[in-house]
Amino acid sequence: MPIPTTKLNNDVEMPIIGFGTWRMPANDVTRLVKEAIDVGYRHIDCADIYGNQKEVGLAIEEKIKEGVVARKDLFITGKLWNTKHDPKLVVAVCQNALNLLKITYFDNYLIHWPTGFADSDENYPKDKDGNTIFSDVDYVDTWSAMETLVEKGLCRSIGVSNFNIEQLQRVLDVARIKPANLQVECHPYLNQNKLMDFCSKYNIVITAYSPLGSPHSPYDKPGTHKLLQHPLIVELAQKYQRAPALILLRYQVQRGNAAITMSTKREHMADNLDVCNFELTEAEMFEINGLNFNGRYNLMQNAKGHPHHPFENEKN
């Protein structure tokens, strides 16, 4: 069964469940992406910083050659890294990512973070004291270059990731092409209700990354369960005879968000696509939402002190 889509504010259809490629075992990337396409994923989430776009591209190329999918059936998201915020660099960096992925356009291309770093071949350029070197490029100027990507036909949609409400508003105030998508950490411990309300006013679709929390790192708040082991999530999983992960994905989809998930096991990949075959009650959604304590896993410590750090300087 095809994965349902959500319509972005430019009428582009985005599959609501995407297959993530972050922290994927390097030697397994091509195989895993091929398996994901085989089981039904059509939304593939990539980024320059992940360092594996060449391997992802091999998988996409093979599946197109095999006739499993056509390019138009896929929805490929890419992300511009912090060291390449200079507007003069954006077109070339995007084109390089497309070349690695063996495609001619992105369906969705995001500014990965609002925090610009010095132009460098290193992802985190450091000074002699080991501190990340920041750039003075303002992300609103980067946004202008992102709009050029659409005009050149390199991207169908553009958006941002890890921006707070104030930062989104600054982009909207100057945008000729409005952001179509915001990708942020979102799960019951960080439900992003205020951000969702803001985005709904501008018809910006939210994509949740880390929708399962962060299963491989313990949360540092004493007494806090890992989300997949939270008694409420386990209870609902038993009630609906679904894996706890699927309850957390359903929570996002039922709120109108898309979600990025990743698995190294083919059966789990397939299970995660079962998200539309059941529905949580309104009371259950309310209970899950009540787990929120603004608990954030991804703090972007390497940008600590940056004037555009989205969480240190968040006013909303």
- pLDDT for the residue 313: 67
User: DSSP letter at 123?
Assistant: S
- pLDDT for the residue 245: 96
- pLDDT for the residue 285: 99
Residue positions counted in the chain: 316
Provide CB contacts within 8 A for 182, sequence distance 6+: 159, 160, 161, 163, 168, 195, 199, 204, 205, 206, 207
- pLDDT for the residue 25: 80
* pLDDT tens-digit series, residues 100-156: 999 999 999 999 999 999 999 999 999 999 999 999 999 999 999 999 999 999 999
**315 pLDDT above the threshold of 90:** no
For residue 220, give the amino acid letter. D
pLDDT band at 217 (very low <50, low <70, confident <90, very high): low
Annotated binding site: 112
- Is residue 15 within 8 A of residue 258, CB to CB? The reply is yes
Query: Looking at residues 44-67, what average pLDDT do you find?
Result: 97
Residues annotated as part of the active site: 50
User: DSSP letter at 257?
Assistant: -
pLDDT band at 2 (very low <50, low <70, confident <90, very high): confident
pLDDT above 70: percentage of residues in the chain? 95
Annotated binding site for substrate: 112
pLDDT band at 225 (very low <50, low <70, confident <90, very high): confident
pLDDT band at 55 (very low <50, low <70, confident <90, very high): very high
What's the CATH number for 5-303?
3.20.20.100
Tokens encoding 185: 């950490």
> Which has the closest alpha carbon to 76: 63, 86, 92?
63
For residue 283, give the amino acid letter. A
| Average pLDDT taken over every residue of the chain | 95
- pLDDT for the residue 26: 80
d(CA 215, CA 255): 22
Tell the burial category of 143 from Cβ atoms under 10 Å away from its Cβ (0-12, 13-18, 19+): buried
